[in-house]
Structure 1
Amino acid sequence: MSLLQVGSLNAGYGRIQVLWDVSIAVEPNQIVALVGANGAGKTTLLRALTGMSRIRSGSITFQDHEIAGSSIESIVERGIAHVPEGRRLFMGLTVRENLLLGGWRRNNRDLARVLELFPALGERLNQTASTMSGGEQQMCAIGRGLMSTPKLLLIDELSLGLAPKTVDEIVARLPEIAASGTAVLLVEQDIDTALSVSERAYVVETGRVTRSGSSKELLADPTIQEAYLGLGVDTT
């Protein structure tokens, strides 16, 4: 039984339709990637899942409950957390305060879990978010999402503005997050990173899912390599 099942979803903003008949699934404890060029509709899909974009038709089933059209608050309460593009921390608040905003009904055990996952945050709990590096801010944003112990964590453009070494460090934690009971739906423009860490992936182009399959198969596909990885296909 899928944790998340999206069926024939059409969504957008106001009168503008962005997504066309999109269907995806995420299983428990799984990492799934949404890949594609900037502006393909990946972020709109995440926003639809969390009640922030207009759904015209289709279904979103989470843990056997239909959540399409539900309020943001009820979606969060059901167990979906969203790490938005650009991190969107409160820069004037401390790391501790930012983390606690993600789990105001949680306890110190949840904070300890986040600090075990990202030890660098433990050294900066009393610093304001504005004093941290971009990588540390991304760790804090993911940690804030995990403070509510969600069943599904949506991460939008994890690598944006970060050095490759920092991206690798954060991405290396995703399998641990999934194994602990929080599935991950990762939106990522860096298709190599996304397909390397995920089990399954969907290619989104102009608001439609055009390809799907195991990440390993897609990573080895010559058309994917040529279109997204800049690798020419040798036909000789």
Structure 2
Amino acid sequence: MLEVTGLEAAYGESRVLFGIDLHVAAGEVVTLMGRNGMGKTTTVHSIFGLLRPRAGRVAINGVDLTGASPHRIARAGLGLVPEGRQIFPTLSVEENLIATARGNGPWDLAAIWALFPRLRDRRRNMGDQLSGGEQQMLAIGRALMTNPSLMVLDEATEGLAPLIRAEIWACLGRIRDQGAAILVIDKNVDAMARLADRHVVIEKGRVVWSGTSADLLGDARVKENWLQV
């Protein structure tokens, strides 16, 4: 589904990524983990064409889309829930969702209302009238309305209350159960171990560890050395 090989990226003369290898198969949930400032968001931006890679390859369903424009990446089947949510503050909840609707697929307004009943109740509210948790639900719903084959979430539950985090994780489980592949950045190791199939840890722009959930929970070095848990 997604194949990232040898990905290198920089901001000006400051190199950030040094040969990232990452893949997500159809229907699979993979986490990208690491401490702050280690290159996770830069990896996402490079995949989505928001930052042009210096080297390496990004392929979607076997098609090389390295450095392609964000709209080409979206049309290829990737949906992004960006860090900071970035919803449209002066559009209503329903307008936010309709604005990104694309293609014939399982995700339409009725499906989003079923997944997030709270959004249905607030569908006439403006984006800036929502709580942080509701905005994150809206950002997820907006990405789903593109009917992606792979959804990428950058800091899926950052800054949210524990009950809201648990609700978001449960919704991601339901999205997974409907067959969508997911690449998720999140700091909550135990929750991610329950949700995901595999995990990739990066440190200073390099992959330093990868493995299954059982591997992650069974290897104390991962938390101690690279996740500060």
Class of the TM-score when normalised by the shorter of the 2 chains: over 0.9
Match of 1:221 among 204, 216, 219: 219
Partner of 1:79: 77
Q: Is the 8 A contact 2:51 2:67 kept in 1?
A: no
Match of 1:97 in 2: 95
Q: Which amino acid aligns with 2:218?
A: A
Match of 2:54 in 1: 56
Q: Give me the whole-angstrom Cα distance separating, in 1, the residues matched to 2:165 and 2:142.
A: 18
The answer to whether the Cα contact below 8 Å between 2:107 and 2:144 also exists between their aligned partners in 1 is: no
Q: How many residues of Structure 1 are paired with residues of Structure 2 in the alignment?
A: 228
* Cα distance between partner residues in 2 of 1:73 and 1:222: 41
CA contact (8 A) 1:152 1:183 kept: yes
* 2:129 aligned to which of 128, 131, 138: 131
Q: Do the aligned partners of 1:149 and 1:182 also contact (CA within 8 Å) in 2?
A: no
* Structure 2 residue corresponding to 1:154, chosen from 152, 155, 171: 152
SS at match of 1:54: coil
Cα pair distance change 1:105/1:53, threshold 3 Å: same
Q: Tell me which moved more, 220-229 or 154-163.
A: 220-229
CA drift of 1:133 comes to 1.2
1:10 corresponds to: 8
Share of identical aligned residues, percent? Answer: 39
Contact kept, 8 Å, 1:31 with 1:175, in 2: the verdict is no
Give the deviation of 1:111 after TM superposition: 1.3
Tell which deviates more after alignment, 102-111 or 150-159. Answer: 102-111
* TM-score normalised by length of structure 2: 0.94
- Distance between the aligned counterparts of 2:210 and 2:195, measured in 1? 15
2:170 matched to 1:188?
no
Q: CA deviation at 1:107?
A: 9.1
Name the residue aligned to 2:161.
163
Amino acid at match of 1:92: T
Q: Which residues of structure 1 form unaligned runs of 5+? A: 231-236
Q: Structure 1 length as normaliser, TM-score?
A: 0.91
Is the Cα–Cα contact under 8 Å of residues 106 and 148 in structure 1 kept in the other structure?
Answer: no
Aligned with 2:34 (options 29, 36, 46): 36
Deviation readout 1:137-181 (Å, 9 max, x if unpaired): 100000000001001111000111100111011111112212323
- Structure 1 position 182, deviation (Å): 1.8
Shifted more, 209-218 versus 142-151: the winner is: 209-218
CA distance in 2, matches of 1:148, 1:161: 25
The Cα RMSD (Å) is 1.7
Conserved in 2, the CA contact under 8 Å of 1:91 and 1:130?
Answer: yes
d(CA) in 1 for partners of 2:54, 2:30: 24
1:233 alignment counterpart: none
Structure-2 change in CA distance of 1:63 and 1:116 (3 Å): same
The SS at the match of 1:68 is coil
The 1:104–1:126 alpha-carbon spacing in structure 2 relative to 1, beyond 3 Å, is: farther
Displacement of 1:120 in angstroms is: 1.0
Unaligned runs of 5+ in 2: none
Please identify, of 15-24 and 174-183, the stretch whose mean Cα deviation from structure 2 is larger.
174-183
